[in-house]
Amino acid sequence: MGEHNKANIIKYTRKYMNITQAALAENICDPVTLARYESGKLEPSDEKFSLLMQKMGQSGEKYIIPLASTDESAKSLINEISDALEKGDYAKVEVLLENLKRQRTFLQEGSENFQYLKRLEAIVAYESNKIDAHEFITELKSALSLTFKDFDECSLPKHRVFTQTEILLISNIARQYGISGNKEKAIKIYESLEKYFMGDIVLNDYMPRYAVLANYSSVLGLMGYYDESIAVCIRGLKWMKKHNKCNLIYNFYYNIGWNIKKKIDCGMESETMLSVAQCYVWLGCELCKLYHEDMRNYRNMCKFYEENFAYSQ
């Protein structure tokens, strides 16, 4: 966010809320400093900005800066890569990446682009079994450290403005911890990611948020926290409904059904809910197929359906 913008946002929000400079500045900074922030003479840190906005009851517009490029062909490649990645077509991602690397403008545009490439290369290498799970986490962390050096797995700095690539990297790291058995670490990271999202008007963030929540609910479910997992799914669904998008919602519906079934299996839920569980799982499968999502997931979900519901009434 440019200084010009922060200055205006503070100033106009304060006037809109009818608060004096003195009142706003109290306990946060000097009134003179606030005046300087508002005139654009001094740029407030992300932390001060956030404190000021929160004091006014506005969480402020926080951006998760999406990956952007001024290069037209790079832009369309990025979209294609995004698509292929969501569908689990890693061979295609690899090919597209090679094309992207040839776009010189893209590479010259800054370290975030380089980080983006590194993330994808790591994913492709792992999915095609060229590196193992341990090396994968190392690669992901190394990519993250290109722009974010102080990654503390237990808490994310509340006031730092993250880029989309950074959020996705953190989410990938969490997911890998989950897959390789270190579920506690995974949960901690997801919790701090959710806290980061929570309560703020975060723009341009639908991709990271649904990806994070989908993986978060999976890890919770696998650890036996069925109700918490369902709650995360509902948060995901509500959010996607609000934004009128259906990416990955199959995941949320399936997970809800999966969790209900697991609860029934261990006696935490009545057998009468079996039909409901079945409906959710069925809906998950149908939506995955309808929106041409990851076919590997589709096959796994169908298998779960066959094994758990095919012979029920």
Partner 1 sequence: MEEITLGELIMNLRIKKNISRARLCDGICSTVALGRYESNERVPDKFLIDCILERLGENSARLEFISSEDEFSKSVYRRDIEEYLDNRQYSDVEKILEIYRSNTQKSERLHYQYIYFKEGEICFENKKYEDALDLYKKALDLTERLDVIDKGLCDKLLSDIETGLLYKAAETYKCMGETDCADYIFDELRKYLMEQEDDCKKKAEYLPLVVIHTAETEINRSNYGLAKQYLNMAEELLIKEYHLTGLEKVLELKRRLDEDNDEEELHRLLAIKILNTRNVDGTISDEGIKLWESTIKQI
Q: Which residues bind to partner 1, rule: CB under 8 A?
A: 1-2, 4-5, 8-9, 11-13, 15-16, 61, 63, 68, 70, 75-76, 79, 109-110, 203, 234, 236-238, 240-242, 244-247, 249, 252-253, 256, 275-276, 278-280, 282-283, 286-287, 289-292
Q: Which residues pair with 204 in a beta bridge?
A: none
* CB 133 to partner 1: min, Å: 30
* CB 95 to partner 1: min, Å: 20
| 9 vs 100 by CB, closer to partner 1 | 9
| 79 vs 138 by CB, closer to partner 1 | 79
* CB 110 to partner 1: min, Å: 6
The sign one gets for the Cα dihedral 236, 167, 153, 186 is positive
* CB 102 to partner 1: min, Å: 19
| 13 vs 171 by CB, closer to partner 1 | 13
How far is the CA of 146 from the CAs of 2, 116, 141, 151, in angstroms?
22, 10, 9, 11
* CB 73 to partner 1: min, Å: 13
| 140 vs 256 by CB, closer to partner 1 | 256
Other beta carbons within 10 angstroms of residue 306's beta carbon come to: 10
Q: Contact, 56 vs 19, CB < 8 A?
A: yes
The tokens of 56 are what? 């006014």
> Alpha helix locations (H) across 87-204?
90-101, 104-108, 111-127, 133-144, 164-179, 183-197
| 170 vs 240 by CB, closer to partner 1 | 240
Q: Contact, 183 vs 84, CB < 8 A?
A: no
